[in-house]
Amino acid sequence: METNVNHNQPEAGPQAQKGNKLALLTVLYAPVETYKQFKLQPKFGLKLVILALLMVVFGYLSAVMLPNVLMGDLEAELPPEMLEEDVMATAMLFGAITAAVGGAIGFVIMLLIAALFIFIITKLAQMDLSYKQVLAISTLAQSPMILNGIVSLIFINQTGDLTPVTSLAFLAGEEASLFMFNFLSSIEIFSIWSFVLIGIGLAVFAHASLKKGLAVSLGFWLASAFIVSVFAAWIEGLLPPM
């Protein structure tokens, strides 16, 4: 027996507009109602800009904090002239800006690509959705990934451990292959939460069952995690041993 989402739509009005403005927050604890309100006015441009700016902040902070974690290794590997204070400060600033901008651009590109593949899958699943709707749904579902970035950054700064704390990567031993490490890293609570939200959004927008929406989103998540891990292992095999 399939679990269905209640598809009764709220009326558009001031309340819907207010709900839309707070959607990045409310989707975390009331996803069905949030997507119902969001469907009335699926404007996601500003939300995408906000998310990208948050990625800039996260990228900058990670670049500033990670050298502090890795400073011991850097001091051992860099020549003495590179350890001068002004040189290190310039390098850290350049690295922070590059990481911030690169992180935001990469975030947007990956979101666009993921939404495209999910859109293709919805067509195969006979769900009546446009690419723009899938992109809007996927954008709103990125809120948990911002929480993931904050949690991971705090953990790295406090412990110096680069292993994703919210994933199963800790199960990979020192002898684990790159494929296994990447795949276990993909099994991450905030990432799964994000794809669950996408599935809920697909069900609401397409008037489909929740089971069908989750099958599409989680199916894509599992397939993409496997393919990316295989590709990373293949690339590793092409590189000369260190």
Domain contains 149? yes
Buried b (16+ CB within 10 A) or exposed e, 134-159: bbbbbbbbbbbbbebbeebeebbeee
Kindly report, residue by residue over 102-149, the tens digit of the pLDDT: 888 989 999 999 999 999 999 999 999 999 999 999 999 999 988 888
Domain contains 174? yes
Mean pLDDT of 88-106: 75
User: What's this model's pTM, rounded to 2 decimal places?
Assistant: 0.82
Domain contains 96? yes
Mean pLDDT of 175-188: 83
Residue 10 identity:
P
Instruction: Quote the number of domains for the chain.
Output: 1
On whether the CB atoms of residues 119 and 205 are closer than 8 A, the answer is: no
Domain contains 37? yes
Q: What pLDDT, on a 0 to 100 scale, did the predictor assign at position 128?
A: 95
User: Is pLDDT at 51 greater than 60 in this prediction?
Assistant: yes
Highest average pLDDT, of 50-64, 104-118, 154-168, comes from 104-118
CA angle centred on 239, ends 233 and 240, rounded to 5°: 135
Main-chain phi, psi angles of 4, to 5 degrees: -110, 150
Cα(138)–Cα(120) distance, integer angstroms: 14
Q: What pLDDT, on a 0 to 100 scale, did the predictor assign at position 145?
A: 87
Spell out the alpha helix ranges (H) of the chain: 14-21, 23-26, 31-40, 45-77, 85-124, 131-140, 143-159, 178-186, 189-206, 210-238
Domain contains 5? no
Encoding tokens for residue 17? Answer: 């507009």
Domain contains 122? yes
Cα(233)–Cα(5) distance, integer angstroms: 40
Domain contains 134? yes
Kindly report, residue by residue over 224-239, the tens digit of the pLDDT: 999 988 887 777 666 5
Q: Say which residues have a Cβ less than 8 Å from residue 127's Cβ, sequence separation at least 6.
A: 202, 206, 208, 212, 213, 216
The average confidence (pLDDT) of the chain is 81
Kindly report, residue by residue over 197-213, the tens digit of the pLDDT: 999 999 999 999 999 99
Q: Which domain holds residue 143?
A: 14-236
Domain contains 8? no
